[in-house]
Amino acid sequence: MSSETSRIEAFSDGVFAIAITLLILNVQVPPASASHLAAALTRQWPTYVAYLISFSFIGIMWVNHHRLFNHIRRSDNGLMFLNLLLLLGVSVVPFPTALIAAHYYAPGRTLAAAVFNGTYVIIAVFFNVLWRHIVRGGLLDSATQESAEAISRQYAVGPISYLICFALTWVSVPASLIMNIALAVFFAIPARMNAQKHAGRMPTATK
């Protein structure tokens, strides 16, 4: 990794770190006046779940971002600005996390979940735009060029899948969140491993 890409990743790491730290601010300590502390803590379970989901999502995005920059041999203006666009999406995550946690039991739960899921649709689009620029701009090292197609296939799943999550919000909020978690697991797996699993399921040609 060159010094110029190292600076971009270092700045990005700072944004990821701040965004993931801000998530815990949504978990409130029950007031001392609460008569039943255990009940007050239990009522906050949507906040705990939202925190864990978003913490995992930001962590997985950071892992994927780190994987990309391990294979970028140089940067250009497009890379820097598109990376900033991705970081814009990452820095927004604490807001929809707090929103769905606060309104899970309220009449606005569906809208809150739509904002939550919609945020990840936008981030998935930003990730794809960044990756496409990296590939088309010839910014990858020679070793990664061979696996670029596998990474492109994995990333292409993101916008469509998260859009399905977004649509599923109006059918079932819990189901949309569960699908979000499944997608997080999918993107936590390196693209090469996903490609190998897919190849392993392909029927072999008979002589």
69 lies in some domain: yes
Question: pLDDT digit string (tens) for 122-133?
Answer: 999 999 999 999
Q: What is the mean pLDDT of residues 40-50?
A: 83
pLDDT tens by residue, 144-199: 666 777 788 888 888 999 999 999 999 999 999 889 888 888 888 886 644 444 44
What is the span of the domain harbouring residue 183? 3-193
Tell me whether residue 205 is in a domain: no
User: Would you say residue 206 lies in a domain?
Assistant: no
Residue 198 lies in a domain: no
35 pLDDT above the threshold of 60: yes
Considering the domain boundaries, does residue 79 fall inside one? Answer: yes
Mean pLDDT of the residues in the chain:
84
Which range of 3-12, 79-88, 195-204 scores highest in mean pLDDT? It is 79-88
What average pLDDT score do residues 87-100 get?
92
Residue 142 lies in a domain: yes
Q: Quick check: is 207 in a domain?
A: no
pLDDT at 202: 40
pLDDT of 82 reads: 95
In a domain, 202, yes or no: no
Closest CA to 162 of 103, 113, 109: 113
120 vs 124: CA distance, rounded Å: 6
Task: Quote the number of domains for the chain.
Answer: 1
Summarize pLDDT for 6-34 with one digit per residue, the tens. Answer: 889 999 999 999 999 988 887 878 777 76
